[in-house]
Chain A
Amino acid sequence: MSSALLEVEDLSVSFPGRSGITRAVRNVSFTLGRERLGIVGESGSGKSTTGRALLGLIPRPGIVTARRMEFSGENLLAHTDAEWQRLRGRRMSMIMQDPKYSLNPVMKVGRQIGETCRLHLGSDSRDAKRRSLAMLEAVKIRDPEMVYHLYPHQLSGGMGQRAMIAMMLVAEPDFLIADEPTSALDVTVQNDVLRILDDLVRDRGMGLIFISHNLTVVSSFCDRVLIMYGGKIMEQCEARKLNEARHPYTRALIAAAPSLDEVKTELATVTRDPKWLA
């Protein structure tokens, strides 16, 4: 791992509500180099909220606090809206689960990708088109020229996901958050999308945070994994060694998943210890 791209110390996110304050993320600390860092956990574990906080996307009245949150030397905690605008889309970006909700349904795919170039790279329309087509090709779309002129609803799930990845990556960000990028996709398409992300980390030295609930995918794809529960990091480990993880919650998650390799007559259920959140 080279020098850290992102350093987070004691990040907390809370949302005040009628019944008191909900602490969605609690004192999370980690660093990210030019690597693939997985965050796994069940719904409500705070994994997506952590990702959003890193991009300054926690809406009011949510409160983000941290002792330190630095992105290649810049102090993110002090950033104004304008400074976030400069970073987001250009140097840091996010891929979401479902292309249906993150592509504009009334704008052709090519124009959406080109918009990023015009906005962040100052491209003229010719340069924007050239870059968009090259990016569509880079995400393994077979006929970029045709897809460029299609609307999102004319694409299949896998193609839509690739179009969105193209849009997020055309500005060549240094840091990408992929929030369940393959959960809505079929397994065979899933691996194509993972391969695209993998190439970006290897070839461009991008830092990737990969958020997922799927232990198999995370352990086979990522370098390191954080396991989250109730807004806290339960454990950090090397992804390849996820099966040797020690924390009872991680062990329980692994035991609860039916497996192709192991015959389990009864699946273990997860018992949660209140001490984990103490």
Chain B
Amino acid sequence: MIEVSDLNVTFRDGGRPIHAVRGVSFAVAASETFGIVGESGSGKSTVLKAIAGLIESSSSKLTINGRPAAQHRSRQDRRLMQFVFQDPYASLHPRQTVDDTLREPLVIQGIPGIDEKVAEAISNVGLLPEHRFRYPHQLSGGQRQRVAIARALILNPPILLLDEPTSALDVSVQAEILNLLSRLRRSYSLTSILVSHDLGVVAHLCSRIAIMQLGKLVEVIGVQDLRSGAVGQDYTRQLIAASRGFTRAPR
């Protein structure tokens, strides 16, 4: 479904080039959930943005649904994949109601039956009809993230890109959103890439996981290996050990 070979992203800070992503390659099968974990600055979100065509990148191969993805995506290309961002406070327009937010992608794509589609999207993510004409500040964090997910799914994209979708949420709200995502990906047979720094979240949703460090892909492991710790690289072992909690230094 998604194939990436030798992906590179370089930013310029003044005249100085910063290689944010270096030679990353992986493939995601149809209806698979692929995880990318790493610490801040590892380039995990940048990979996601490059796949979505939100930033410039270079690669020897970047195909989506069997077709090469151009740097500038057409309106048709954009229907293939949608993005859910980390911070629902920042990713929803504060002066637009839920209805406005959900309507916009349908209007842009010229899709008929807008009213019914918006109502359906709202109930699909577990919101109530009364939420339809509310502004983001009238919703809780979890409800806002549901709106962001509804907006991403309203065009029925085969691919969903998730960038830390629950890290701004409390653990009980996170559980609700993760359950919602599992349910939706089953019913829509979604292919998704989930970026997170939380190994527990990634293990919960993903079947295969890429570990990134300093712009490079360290290794790709199966979820069983992540759980059992049967991994090849020291860095992955360090990450797993650190996320299992604090170990007191012996004395």
Contacts and interface: CB of A to CB of B under 8 A. Distances in A.
Contact of A198 (B170, B172, B238, B248): B248
A221 B182 contact: no
Contacts of A257: 171, 174-175, 200
B208 to A, nearest CB: 16
Interface string B161-189: 00000000011101110110010000000
B239 interface: yes
Contacts of B247: 191, 220
Contacts of A219: 245
B108 interface: no
Main secondary structure of the interface of B (DSSP, over half): helix
B240 interface: yes
A253 B178 CA distance: 15
B238 A188 contact: yes
A264 interface: yes
29 contacts: A42-B170, A42-B172, A186-B197, A187-B39, A187-B242, A188-B39, A188-B239, A188-B242, A191-B247, A194-B246, A213-B171, A216-B245, A217-B245, A219-B245, A220-B244, A220-B245, A256-B171, A256-B172, A256-B175, A258-B175, A258-B198, A258-B200, A266-B179, A266-B182, A267-B175, A267-B178, A267-B204, A269-B176, A270-B175
Interface of B: 39-40, 170-172, 174-176, 178-179, 182, 197-201, 203-204, 226-227, 238-240, 242-249, 251
A195 B245 CA distance: 12
B115 to A, nearest CB: 31
A33 B238 CA distance: 33
Contacts of B248: 198
A260 B244 CA distance: 8
Contact of A216 (B174, B239, B244): B244
Contact of A258 (B40, B176, B178, B242): B178
A277 B226 CA distance: 40
Contacts of B239: 187-188
A148 to B, nearest CB: 25
A157 B40 contact: yes
Nearest to A194: B246
Interface string A196-229: 0010001000000000010111011100000000
A190 interface: yes
A227 B42 CA distance: 34
A269 B227 contact: no
A192 to B, nearest CB: 10
B200 A267 contact: no
A215 B174 CA distance: 14
B88 to A, nearest CB: 14
A127 to B, nearest CB: 30
Contact of B246 (A215, A220, A267): A220
Nearest to A256: B175
A259 interface: yes
A215 to B, nearest CB: 8
Contact of A187 (B182, B203, B243): B243
A187 B227 contact: no
Given A191-B247, A221-B245, A269-B179, A256 B174 contact: yes
A58 interface: no
Contacts of A194: 246
A268 interface: yes
